[in-house]
Chains A and B, each alone.
Chain A
């Protein structure tokens, strides 16, 4: 077989992480937006919109970890060791918000506020640390002899702090447009208002990151600003501008579904841009997917399953969303 296995695996993992960012993004976004909705009924509805699906969304994160271990064990061990603290803290925050789904509805009346706070705190903190890891990852990891050679706090940089804030806004936008799609009345109206502001902030953040990343490294600057790359990469910012315009228009038109689709589009394009900046490295700045690959027999064995099963997963996940389609109102007692 002459398939380029590392390449295919890199695409599979990038796809898995993209699914995670989009799908867990909107349900983390609900937690981030909780402070803006204080009414208990509103909060019940918000949680009910994601209760049947959050768990599947989070599974993409597990796939990201497992896929990385299977196909690029060197990258898995180095990246996770480098980002020890932020990853542990992110996981603990995800625990806090994950149990809030169950606990909130099982708590006595006077205990509930605690799990509301845990849900908010967990969602925001998990997102912040994911953003910190993302920024620090783009900054690059110091590797000597296949082992992490940096310090325990290398992940705190001005850029990573910025991407952390950026990811909170990203998820909040996805959450707000998800609510537009799944709710009605006052709750939906407030979501329109929030989405409009969040979209503007996200656009500003994307612009700043687009300027900042080429300044971080010559490699990234060359990727984007040399011929012929600049010609076939230039549509990306143009499409981004167009999607942003369509998003604002759909919000003004009070559309139900399209704001969510367009905000997913913005996130996808941003993700694509970062991917192009780093490619083909799996540990920036200089370890490529080929250098970090697991043996051929590992990659081919796992890929066989991945290529057959991922389409099935997508099919029954879509069916799950279809079963719970439509608006959620206060009369839906999922809980």
Chain B
């Protein structure tokens, strides 16, 4: 039964959270990167690390700001649009969100000011501590929100009394079965997405013929990160998939586009196809016999779940998750390929000169974010038709607003988000186009891009390198 108001509410939530999640993910990655840069600077006192810090902190500030304002919307949208869910499960998600605000949001906001603007007011040790607090804050935030989200996938530790969730065991609620996999998978995704952006920005500068020590450092550090994280992410993803197989078999059936099992035969793996939810089959199917059982069950005989095992009302939309999953995995494999390429280029000593490698790295820039979003669509749409898996249906959770109301709010969200965050991305690309310069930290001006506003930055004496070089401003 089509329900336009429900669809509009779902589109609005999906739209606003898709925009939102990109910024915290980059903030998580960049905060850790900045922490490493500042630590390296404190250890080596090489100016390049401080210069890179000052460059990337501008991008961080931009992303963080956009993350804060788009996140505010999320904290209220559970109530404005999902009153049924909030009344039913707010007793679980509310305290988890409250802990996120208390332990993470305030920590980040409280130390962000010093991190961004404190250069002339605190010394290096305190400044480093501020960066540390912000970086830890981003990770704590991810932990709480993923505990909450995972609980919606694999709820436990509760009773239901009078149509409301009553928490019984908070340890069981937080450490629910899918939480560890989802948390690690997401944090790695954030690191991977950020590293790819850093690498891509460096590759762009070098291809333009603009290669300084900071830019080469970026490329090298970023590529080491991709090399370590991308294979790790594949392994964690595999464990996450096996966990989903155990707790949400319908999602796996939808991801695999697997409609029915033949008794006594192993399940195939569908490589390509167009799952049709109405006709209950795949169009243009290309499948490899037995491979599904082999990958998911590590067996030649045991079958994987099939969509027809579930009633039509309980099936997630296979057309969507079949493809979002393949986009994620395909991009992940390309990331591993890029990292192997970088290893080969390092061995050949042409990491900074190999045009083909640099172009490959450049186009891979946005793929971390695309893969992350595709992964989220897979897991969230794969949970449908449930909002809390097995306990509450999405259709029962939505606030009964009228279609005109929802149309107005959704239109406003689309127009304003595209304008605002589109502009934000343009500013971000402008910063990346300028790239880090030697002495970035001394021309200070932590934020402005206007050359005529660049003044000598007020920065505490301890931050100056032993022999300060004249600001580049005089050459402009």
Residues of A within 8 A of B (CB): 51-53, 55-56, 58-59, 61-63, 65-71, 73-74, 76-81, 83-85, 87-89, 91-92, 94-96, 98-99, 101-103, 105-109, 146-148, 152, 294-295, 297-298, 301-302, 305-306, 309-310, 313, 316-317, 319-320, 323-324, 331-335
Chain A residue numbers with a CB within 8 Å of B445 are: 333, 335
* Residue in chain A with minimal CB distance to B122: A323
Tell whether, in the assembled complex, residue A103 and residue B80 are in contact, meaning their CB atoms are under 8 Å apart.
no
Tell whether, in the assembled complex, residue B448 and residue A323 are in contact, meaning their CB atoms are under 8 Å apart.
no
B405 at the interface (CB under 8 A from A): yes
B370 at the interface (CB under 8 A from A): no
Stretch at the interface among B113-121, B298-306, B463-471: B113-121
Chain B residue numbers with a CB within 8 Å of A334 are: 116-117, 446-447
Tell me what chain A mostly uses at the interface: helix, strand, loop, or mixed: helix
The number of residue pairs between A and B whose CB atoms lie closer than 8 Å in the complex comes to 249
Tell whether, in the assembled complex, residue A320 and residue B111 are in contact, meaning their CB atoms are under 8 Å apart.
yes
Tell me what chain B mostly uses at the interface: helix, strand, loop, or mixed: helix
Residues of B within 8 A of A (CB): 58, 61-62, 65-66, 68-73, 75-76, 78-84, 86-87, 90-95, 97-103, 105-107, 109-114, 116-118, 121-122, 164, 166-168, 170, 399-402, 405, 408-409, 412-413, 416, 420, 423-424, 427, 430-431, 444-450, 452, 455, 457-458
* Residue in chain A with minimal CB distance to B444: A333
Tell whether, in the assembled complex, residue B68 and residue A58 are in contact, meaning their CB atoms are under 8 Å apart.
yes
Partner of A81, one of B66, B80, B121, B427: B80
Chain A residue numbers with a CB within 8 Å of B107 are: 316
Tell whether, in the assembled complex, residue A79 and residue B79 are in contact, meaning their CB atoms are under 8 Å apart.
yes
Q: A69 to B93, alpha carbons, bound, how many Å?
A: 8
* Residue in chain B with minimal CB distance to A299: B95
State whether A66 and B75 are in contact (beta carbons under 8 Å apart), knowing that A147-B83, A301-B95 are contacts in the complex. Answer: yes
Given contacts A95-B416, A302-B98, 17 further A-B contacts (CB under 8 A): A52-B116, A66-B94, A66-B101, A69-B79, A70-B98, A87-B80, A88-B409, A99-B69, A109-B450, A152-B405, A301-B170, A306-B98, A313-B102, A313-B110, A320-B114, A324-B113, A333-B446
- Interface CB pairs A-B, < 8 A, 23: A55-B65, A56-B112, A62-B71, A62-B105, A63-B102, A67-B98, A76-B94, A80-B76, A80-B78, A84-B81, A87-B76, A95-B416, A96-B420, A98-B68, A103-B427, A108-B450, A294-B90, A302-B99, A305-B103, A317-B110, A334-B117, A335-B445, A335-B447
Tell whether, in the assembled complex, residue A297 and residue B168 are in contact, meaning their CB atoms are under 8 Å apart.
yes
* Residue in chain A with minimal CB distance to B116: A52
Chain A residue numbers with a CB within 8 Å of B402 are: 152
